[in-house]
Amino acid sequence: MKFFIKCCLCFSLFFSGFSFAEQMKKLGKYDVHYIAFPSTFVQPQTAKALGLKRRNNMALVNISVLDSQSKKGQKVTVTGFAKNLIGHHKELTFIEVDEGNAIYYMAQVKHSNEETLRFTIYVDDGVSKQELKFQNKMYVDGN
């Protein structure tokens, strides 16, 4: 599993100039890092271990919530959905990956080639619910 996290970090650094590079937004007392990228970027053994599908028309949405002060990963509830430009609603089901020193929330979403998805993600810590919005143009991977 640590290999998966290293891959995500590597991809976010290597592809920082592309539309699927990791981004961060401050929401209340949290720094919320988010990225959406092709599921085929995940190694087969990692995908199997996490129960993820590797398909050329599936994207992986990865959310990490850090306390702004301590920079420690936070256990929260992450929910959300994606909509394409004509309003087709795609519910996101997040799984939690807790590696002790890092906590990630991942969901998959099916898409068409060159489909723009507008993501609305809710981060709920039990006290307050914050909203994150972003959009990505998704491409069908040729692999």
Domain locations in the chain as residue ranges: 2-138
DSSP state of 15: T
* pLDDT tens, residue by residue, 67-82: 999 999 999 999 999 9
- Is the predicted pLDDT of residue 7 greater than 80, yes or no? no
**Average pLDDT over every residue of 118-129:** 97
2-138 is classed CATH 2.60.40.420: no
Identify whether the C-beta of residue 45 lies closer than 8 Å to the C-beta of residue 95. Answer: no
Query: CA angle 21-25-69, nearest 5°?
Result: 120
